[in-house]
Chain A
């Protein structure tokens, strides 16, 4: 499902090439369809970079990434954007719901921007499953953090992605909420048959995942 081979990611300051800083090096990583992975590492260990690489938001300096048989290097520009919209669901650390749209509209944004048919009933059923149905017309600023996170997870699974990525989903959460957030992600990825990758530095998450990658 996901195969990562020999990737190196460097941020080079163009003025000083030898000052290039390697932020991520990963020889080999594979995840099968439907597996739940935890990517652990301290701040600055390249967790977010890893997610961005897998989502095709960044191109690796070296190495190859394949998702569902698709080599990301073969895609570029709008084809890559479209592929990402249809195959990858992302829950960013800061959630980034669109403030001027309602929760329901935020969900509908996902199929629209990925060039898929608008599916209102799917959006409502996803919200229902996450216990967010009564908030469908709320604006993001009216939501609590936990509700906003549910909305962001709902948006990420709207297009039934093959791969669900979550960046630090448990940051600033107490223990109870930490585990319920992880549970939600696992349930939702199971529901749409997606491979789940959660990147975190939160050691509490360890016990919830059998498969772990330490960066």
Chain B
């Protein structure tokens, strides 16, 4: 016999109230856990995709659209830019590295990206099989694409026009798979990579003159920190190009998403508050039923402090169970959300990751439980034994 055993016996003695309180607390904690996991993973993933890309140069339009389309491959491109302007910018002394991207086609909803070998190298991609492309119409598949389409080295496929699934197929120009990338957790997993020349070949049936060729965007790494001060302005001054900073645009995006996240977080906090109130009321009611028990415990030698500890422990036990259930539920929800988003070709969220802030959620839950038990505990502490024992029971 010990205090936790007594607390558990009391919790078991009123299963309905206990289950209700557990549920309320678990839902509140689960809501906040999902938000924590989803936002942290989204930020981490977007941070990884944007790492080392200081500036994106592309066609004029919305800078956020330019970043979303060419860094995260989530939005439609703003348009194309003349190849010679892009080449001129690549040779600028403030530019250390410039990776060309030519977009326009897709395969089963995955984008076909015309680029050079710097692009997979930039993300440290490793080949799981085969080799990188060396000739037009050779393609390397991202890990998710290869797994989803059941393609391997040697397979062929045709791209569809446009970035959404269901565009006109380019049947006469099949791609040949020469390599498959290992999963990297970056945007490459969802892409089909090929040479820029392949994209030109598909779209230039009539044989446009080479000097009129176009690409979609350039991912630029600065040679010196000073470039940040002047290069964007120079690019924006040109007639055909605009520059966008992935760091700045992602921060702007998160500020916009942030309002929604804050609303959900407030909702989660409200659930936890209600759960706290519910635990408080349950313990206070239980205290009424239990005046005799508490008096008997004093009669049997328990100190006031022990009874107070019993009530606090009961609140804390309930809250800890609710907190653990909530975190587990949160991970489950996050995983379900991830599965749902994965089929929609969106940035994935997983429930199989631990967030370092989760222990604080458990601490929060236990804190709520203890706070809810404070008043009942104090009343247990200050109960006078003799008159209660003399009453009927």
Contact = CB atoms under 8 A, between A and B. Distances in A.
Nearest to B14: A100
B270 interface: no
A110 B297 CA distance: 8
Given A100-B10, A112-B1, A82 B393 contact: no
Contacts of B297: 98, 109, 113
A81 B296 CA distance: 11
A57 B389 contact: yes
Chain B interface SS verdict (over half): helix
A101 B301 contact: no
Interface in B290-304: 292-293, 295-304
Contacts of B391: 94
A201 to B, nearest CB: 14
B392 A100 contact: no
B386 A81 contact: no
B305 A78 contact: yes
Interface stretch (A34-42, A83-91, A130-138, A181-189): A83-91
B1 A82 contact: no
A84 B1 contact: no
A114 interface: yes
B301 A85 contact: yes
Interface residues of B, number: 29
Given A96-B296, A118-B1, A82 B12 contact: no
Given A58-B386, A105-B9, A92 B296 contact: yes
A48 B389 CA distance: 10
B211 interface: no
Interface in B1-60: 1-2, 5-6, 9-10, 12-13
B239 interface: no
B386 A114 contact: no
A152 to B, nearest CB: 10
Contact of A52 (B9, B300, B301, B386): B386
A90 B306 CA distance: 20
B256 interface: no
A101 B292 contact: no
Interface string B280-296: 00000000000011011
Contacts of A82: 301, 303
B1 A57 contact: no
B385 interface: yes
A137 to B, nearest CB: 13
A156 to B, nearest CB: 9
B390 interface: yes
B2 A112 contact: yes
A100 B12 contact: yes
Contact of B304 (A78, A90, A93): A78
Interface of B: 1-2, 5-6, 9-10, 12-13, 292-293, 295-306, 385-386, 389-393
12 contacts: A48-B390, A57-B299, A57-B385, A57-B389, A81-B301, A81-B303, A84-B301, A98-B293, A100-B9, A108-B1, A110-B300, A155-B300
Interface of A: 48, 52, 55, 57-58, 77-78, 81-86, 90, 92-96, 98-101, 105, 108-115, 118, 155, 159
What 4 A-B pairs are tightest by C-beta distance, nearest first?
Answer: A85-B301, A78-B303, A100-B13, A114-B301
Given A96-B292, A112-B1, 11 more contacts: A77-B304, A78-B306, A82-B303, A94-B393, A96-B299, A100-B9, A100-B12, A113-B306, A114-B300, A114-B301, A115-B301
